[in-house]
Amino acid sequence: MPTYTALTQLASESDAYALSEAMENLDPAPMGVGVFELEDGSGLWEVGGYFTDPPDDLELAILAQAFDARALVVSELPEIDWVAKVRRDLAPVEAGRFFVYGSHDAHRLPEGRIGLLIEAAMAFGTGHHGTTLGCLRALDRLDTGGFRGRNVVDIGCGTAVLAMAAARIWPGLVRASDIDAVAVDVARANVGANGLEGRVLCLEATGFDHPELQMAAPFDLVFANILMGPLIDLAPDMARYCAAGGHAILSGLLVEQAETVLAAYTAAGFGLQHRDDIGDWATLTLIRQAA
């Protein structure tokens, strides 16, 4: 079955999300819509719809004009089994004591390593990206340094790999949230595949905006592997819901964006404990200063 994409860019985050909601009402309807901030420093947002039938060009043109977006470009994707391709192309990843792998590589799990089974799916976080790798290394560094997470949350969890990693090494319930319903479904499936039901609770939420998260606060460790803009917006809530002396592990940042994010969190009452740059990507480990 062919798949069609319709992609555009626009300058406003609010317009990008409004456009994505409007695209859901197209006929034929998309099977999925995504919104992403471009990581080139341009400040632009990309909106993409994925269709099994060709979208209507006139409807797309009307939407682009209504939301002050560039013309939507439609492309037909080749008929490829993307999951099978990802399984072939993605080798296991080692990050400190953690070993992230797909079921096809289960036989390669080294003895004594902490295994995290992640299947190829429509959510971010297989361990291959420098941001996820950096967060896993930061977690391993905290644990080997004597820190013990008793109340942990993963904001923008994607596959829930970070939440599951915390649940593997520490007792107690780990919470994981994502703004995207598909990601939450993927996270729950991964939690089940790793035998962590009852240890990782997956929620659909924007930031900390969920009663379960607000009642569970303050957290002594918060993961947020998202993007620069949302991270900066999250800084006041991070200070509110992170305990004094608690840690935040932040990524999704280009190296050149790290100082800007650090400045926002310093102003919110955090201090830098460690920074890890992997290729183009930076991971910040912060500590919440006492009020």
State yes or no: pLDDT of 271 exceeds 90.
Answer: yes
Judge whether 103 and 117 are in contact, CB under 8 Å. yes
Judge whether 210 and 155 are in contact, CB under 8 Å. no
What are the tokens at 282? 């930076």
CA distance 180 to 79: 25
Q: What is the largest CA-CA distance in the chain?
A: 60
Read off the pLDDT band of 3 (50, 70, 90).
Answer: confident
Task: Report pLDDT digits (tens) over 257-266.
Answer: 999 999 999 9
pLDDT of residue 122: 45
State yes or no: pLDDT of 34 exceeds 90.
Answer: no
Check residues 272 and 41 and name the one with the higher pLDDT.
272
pLDDT of residue 182: 82
Check residues 78 and 44 and name the one with the higher pLDDT.
44
CA distance 78 to 74: 13
Judge whether 155 and 208 are in contact, CB under 8 Å. yes
Task: Report pLDDT digits (tens) over 17-27.
Answer: 899 999 988 99
Contacts of 282 (CB under 8 A, 6+ apart): 134, 251, 253, 254, 255, 257, 258, 275, 276
CA dihedral 96, 98, 101, 106 (to 10 degrees): 120
Judge whether 92 and 101 are in contact, CB under 8 Å. yes
Task: Report pLDDT digits (tens) over 185-229.
Answer: 889 999 999 999 999 999 999 999 999 999 999 999 999 998 888
Check residues 140 and 109 and name the one with the higher pLDDT.
140
pLDDT over 90 for what percent of the chain?
A: 56
Contacts of 261 (CB under 8 A, 6+ apart): 228, 231, 232, 250, 253, 284
Read off the pLDDT band of 240 (50, 70, 90).
Answer: very high
Judge whether 227 and 111 are in contact, CB under 8 Å. no
State yes or no: pLDDT of 250 exceeds 90.
Answer: yes
pLDDT of residue 127: 47
State yes or no: pLDDT of 88 exceeds 60.
Answer: no
Burial category of 110 from C-beta neighbours within 10 Å (exposed 0-12, middle 13-18, buried 19 and up): exposed
Report pTM: 0.70
Q: Looking at this protein, which amino acid is placed at residue 181?
A: A
Q: What is the mean pLDDT of the chain?
A: 87
Owner of token pair 């780990």: 174
Check residues 9 and 112 and name the one with the higher pLDDT.
9
Q: What are the two backbone dihedrals, phi and then psi, of residue 242, each rounded to the nearest 5 degrees?
A: -100, 130
CA distance 179 to 21: 14
CA distance 95 to 283: 13
Provide mean pLDDT across the span 100-107.
73
Domains and CATH numbers, the chain: 3-77 (3.30.70.260), 124-288 (3.40.50.150)
Dihedral sign from CA coordinates of 164, 166, 171, 175: negative
pLDDT of residue 214: 96
Buried b (16+ CB within 10 A) or exposed e, 277-288: ebeebbbbbbbb
Read off the pLDDT band of 9 (50, 70, 90).
Answer: very high
